[in-house]
Amino acid sequence: MGVLVTGGAGYIGSHTVASLLERGEEVVILDNLYQGHREAVLGGTLVEGDIRDTGVLDDIFTKHSIDAVIHFAANSLVGESMSNPGKYYENNVYGTLSLLEAMNRHGVKKIVFSSTAATYGEPERIPIEESDRTEPTNAYGETKLAMEKMMKWFEHAHDIKYVSLRYFNAAGAHESGKIGEDHNPETHLIPLVLQTALGKRKHISVFGDDYSTADGTCIRDYIHVSDLADAHVLAVAHLRRGGTSGIYNLGNGQGFSVKEVIEAARKVTGREIPVQIEARRAGDPAVLVASSKKAREELGWNPSRDRLEDIIESAWSWHQHHPDGYGGKDNK
Ligand SMILES: NC(=O)c1ccc[n+]([C@@H]2O[C@H](COP(=O)([O-])OP(=O)(O)OC[C@H]3O[C@@H](n4cnc5c(N)ncnc54)[C@H](O)[C@@H]3O)[C@@H](O)[C@H]2O)c1
Ligand SMILES: O=c1ccn([C@@H]2O[C@H](COP(=O)(O)OP(=O)(O)O[C@H]3O[C@H](CO)[C@H](O)[C@H](O)[C@H]3O)[C@@H](O)[C@H]2O)c(=O)[nH]1
């Protein structure tokens, strides 16, 4: 039996496809290449198409023997979701509905889903546990919460089991050097800091230094993309052995401030990284750090690339060799 990976040409999806292939899985990738890259798909069968297209989904489930879906395909820019929430309900919520309906038509009973720390909003305590309050402060997080609830009701009605993985801040790149992070536009801190180290940007903007944290900048929990990829493989295994549906945080349980990330990047790169302090970014909670105890205990997840310098080092290697991402590939 094989796995369908929606959004498998994107950043986290492509790393998960690589992990599945390493384990000898049959993989079909469905991506409309809105953000994804053909070159990021290291194997399997890539279908260029949209999760909202019922014909494409029916075709895939008819032609391939698929028992599980890993669902990454979504829009995920917090700022854009605030100015254009309709786009997020259309692609994320309607897209997931289209996928679940197709799974139901074809008797596919397992789904692993990309959720986010943004489902919590302003946390009530740190580290955050899965049972904590979920009150998203942006439309993106709200759509992810809606998709989690949709899966709950599809399980109730159609016995489709789900594992929802709430990632904190994904970072780093694959050890092969072949795949890494290439978003357009790029909004994430670590790639922007490294593009500044490369001289592609004049400075890194720090969004607010007046938060109630030790150095005034926001604290996040950075998790290596390959550790995230491993969690998806474990989640599929959990469902295949008859495990129950559930929601799991994925993070390292350690928080780093924006200033600490920049300092670590200076050490790793040995380059100057000019900083400009700017206003706070709307919708940013001060501190987001995960408790991933549940994923460790129930899925057997054991993230191994947890040092911030190592995560930045692996991203740096990717950015140095691919300064223009996949577009300007330079495989030195
Ligand atoms: N990057 C992070 O730190 C982070 C954190 C938490 C959650 N997530 C979630 O993880 C998932 C993957 O994130 P990413 O950073 O790899 O994003 P990404 O944009 O690199 O990957 C998403 C992929 O989905 C594809 N896609 C989008 N809409 C589609 C559609 N309608 N049909 C087919 N393909 C479609 C895109 O082309 C892209 O390749 C997303 O669902 C995101 O919300 C990401
Ligand atoms: O140029 C920048 C970019 C980011 N930041 C700060 O760096 C931290 C990390 O920002 P990212 O944009 O890298 O990531 P977020 O913490 O905003 O992540 C959120 O959005 C992601 C999707 O883009 C995930 O869904 C994640 O779960 C959700 O919390 C934030 O405090 C942000 O304000 C800056 O100071 N300058």
Question: What are the b/e assignments for 114-126, b being 16+ CB within 10 Å?
Answer: bbbbbbbbebeeb
Taking the CA atoms of residue 292, residue 131, residue 123 and residue 231 in that order, the dihedral angle to the nearest 10 degrees is 30
For position 327, what pLDDT does the model report? 83
State both tokens at 154: 């599809």
Handedness of CA 191, 111, 156, 53 (dihedral sign): positive
Instruction: ipTM value, please give it.
Output: 0.97
> Helix crossing, 189-197 with 258-269: angle to 10°?
40
CATH superfamily ID and name for 2-171+223-250: NAD(P)-binding Rossmann-like Domain (3.40.50.720)
User: Which sequence spans correspond to the domains of the chain?
Assistant: 2-171+223-250, 189-220+253-321
For position 302, what pLDDT does the model report? 95
- One digit per residue, the tens of pLDDT, for the chain of length 332 reads 999 999 999 999 999 999 999 999 999 999 999 999 999 999 999 999 999 999 999 999 999 999 999 999 999 999 899 999 999 999 999 999 999 999 999 999 999 999 999 999 999 999 999 999 999 999 999 999 999 999 999 999 999 999 999 999 999 999 999 999 999 999 999 999 999 999 999 999 999 999 999 999 999 999 999 999 999 999 999 999 999 999 999 999 999 999 999 999 999 999 999 999 999 998 889 999 999 999 999 999 999 999 999 999 999 999 999 999 998 543 33
Q: For strand 45-48 and strand 219-220, is the pairing parallel, antiparallel, or unpaired? A: unpaired
Residues 6+ apart with CB under 8 A from 133: 120, 121, 124
For position 68, what pLDDT does the model report? 98
In ligand 2, the atom with minimum distance to the C-alpha of 218 is 31
Give the CA angle between residues 271, 274, 275 to the nearest 5°. Answer: 135
Q: Which of 11, 120, 140, 162 is an active site residue?
A: 140
Transcribe 118-142 into DSSP letters. Answer: GGTBS-SSSSB-TTS--B-SSHHHH
Please indicate whether residue 116, judged by its CB atom, sits closer than 6 Å to ligand 2.
yes
* Amino acid identity for residue 287 in this structure: V
CATH superfamily ID and name for 189-220+253-321: UDP-galactose 4-epimerase, domain 1 (3.90.25.10)
* Amino acid identity for residue 106 in this structure: H
For position 332, what pLDDT does the model report? 32
Residues 6+ apart with CB under 8 A from 169: 117, 188, 189, 220, 221, 222, 223, 251, 288
Backbone angles phi, psi at 25, to 5 degrees: -75, 150
Nearest one of 141, 128, 154, 149 to 248, comparing CA atoms: 128
Residue 195: count of CB within 10 angstroms of its CB: 16
For position 282, what pLDDT does the model report? 84
For position 283, what pLDDT does the model report? 82
Residue nearest to atom 25 of ligand 2 (CA): 116
First-to-last alpha carbon distance for the chain, in angstroms, is 37
Residue nearest to atom 12 of ligand 2 (CA): 188
140: annotated active-site residue: yes
Nearest one of 14, 1, 6, 58 to 31, comparing CA atoms: 6
Residue nearest to atom 18 of ligand 1 (CA): 10
| Residue bearing tokens 């809105």 | 34
Q: How far is the CA of 143 from the centre of ligand 1 (A)?
A: 13
